Amino acid sequence: MKPVRALISVSDKRGIVDFAKELNELGIEIVSTGGTARLLKESGIPVREISDLTGFPEIMEGRVKTLHPKVHGGILADRSKDEHLRAMRELEIEPIDMVVVNLYPFKETVKKGADLDEIIENIDIGGPTMVRAAAKNFKHVAIVTDPEDYERIINELKETGEISLKTRFYLARKAFNLTAHYDAVISDYLFSIDEEGKKVGCRELRNPLTITFEKVQDLRYGENPHQRGAFYREVFVTEPCVTRARKLHGEKELSFNNIYDLDGALNLALEFDPVKEGISCAIIKHANPCGVALGKTPEEAYERALKVDPLSAFGGIIAFNSRVTPEAARLIVERFYECIIAPDYDEEALEILKTKKNLRVLTTDGLNGLKNRGEDSPFDYRRVVGGLLVQDRDLMTLDPEKLKVVTDREPTEKEWEDLIFAFKVVKWVKSNSVVYAKDKVAVGIGVGQTSRVDSARCAAEKAKLMGIDLSGSVLASEAFFPFRDSIDEAAKVGVTAVIQPGGSIRDKEVIQAANEHGMAMVFAGIRHFRH
């Protein structure tokens, strides 16, 4: 296909002047609109106004300029059909062989905090219509939506005098991907507000579900070397998260598993308010915590977390809910870790961490947006073969007013603190799970067993192996105890208080066991299954 006429109308004007100059030198007529036409004219490039092509002026402040039969007839005509060619001749429709269009900056307008009226004005109508028309007719028309493709097209035109069918199909796929993404972004935004433009706390589980993500980077591979992998992000997320984190140091790129573990570690660390509850340190290995603790300083929190399971911490991921100090950094570099993520780092701490060339150091640039967790990213998505499971993110927190003591004995003040700490930790442990806690340290973590009593036993055995005395500890379970056996196991190692959701048909039996052992038991009324 040798193009004769190109319609150019772009919001992203990167490289457009040079591209248009090259097209003009190749003898291709340029038709353009609005600001693009002005820019090209000012750059000395011959331009034909769209109104000259259509015989109709741009109206309604530019809302209507390309929505015209002479534009879309010129784009959509199937050059292989005599009927289409005859209609073009009779109606004096000139063929358009190349459409160079990118769309109004809708998401950029939202991100800058514009009001609803301005955001609505940045919903492009004519642009997507031309893009889709040209992409549909890719056998005869080249649709160019990405400035990164300008060089490829010019090179091909210079080498062969035409744009190949292979390139036109490549451009058409990109074009439909662009319009699908564009519409999904608009839909996603509109479902996040009310009719006055105010943020709403919950989005609908709509039908059909349209979701869109932007690629952050390709990954070396997925979970395993034989799997391809890439990292994508949602468009409007503002809360502190791995997706928005910046890498400050580390020669190696983040892997699929690194990113997944960073997400789990950071979310666990951010369960705790650094001002009200203390500085938290979470150490994650293979998607599960192997050390979690609170401390008065980052170094204290780290040391306490590490003591729980220093063997498993090797090669793990560390997260803090506060600025990392030089003292903490010196301790961290004594061992091998894959990554560390925190809101910020002292300058000296960062220099110390940089001495480990393979340690990836990430920052969330503070905790701004933490109070709005879930507002811009409300759903959790899980793939199954041929489908998708969608649920609200588990952002439920303990409500002190709903905590219910169900045993004869109430927890002491210290037990209350440890119970609340343990229940926040167990939320981020794969089910079935339990957490033993003492002095705001997760001293025993029972991970992903098929029975809850096995989780209790495994956590206790691991603590014993590490030389940790569980006497005086508390126990948290992310779901109810179906039998009293876990309570009996906990009593053997010296547990004095238990927190669990409650709701088993054998609750009475479980409560009776706690009473027999002199334990305090609290029902949280919240379940935190994590598969």
Compute how many other C-beta atoms are within 10 angstroms of the C-beta atom of residue 479.
21
183-208 burial code (b ≥16 CB/10 A, e <16) = bbbbebbeebeeeeeeeeeebeeeee
Which residues, in sequence order, are CB contacts of 192 under 8 Å at separation 6+? 199, 200, 203, 236, 375, 376
Q: Helix-strand-coil percent breakdown of the chain, rounded to 5?
A: 40, 20, 40
User: Which amino acid belongs to residue 191?
Assistant: F
Q: How far apart are CA 177 and CA 213, in angstroms?
A: 11
CA dist 228 and 8 (Å) reads 37
If phi > 0 it is left, if psi is from -120 to 50 it is alpha, else beta; for residue 405 that is beta
Closest C-alpha among 240, 217, 531 to residue 376 = 240
Residue 261, by phi and psi: left (phi above 0), alpha (psi -120 to 50) or beta? alpha
Residue 322 phi/psi, 5° resolution? -150, 175
Q: What angle separates helix 485-492 from helix 452-465, to the nearest 10 degrees? A: 10
| List of residues 6+ apart from 425 with CB closer than 8 A | 268, 271, 289, 292, 435, 437, 442, 445, 476
Residues that are catalytic = 136, 286
Query: How far is residue 30's CA from residue 4's CA, in Å, rounded to a whole number?
Result: 9
Instruction: Return the number of other C-beta atoms located less than 10 Å from residue 260's C-beta.
Output: 17
Cα 492 to Cα 217: distance, rounded to the nearest angstrom: 50
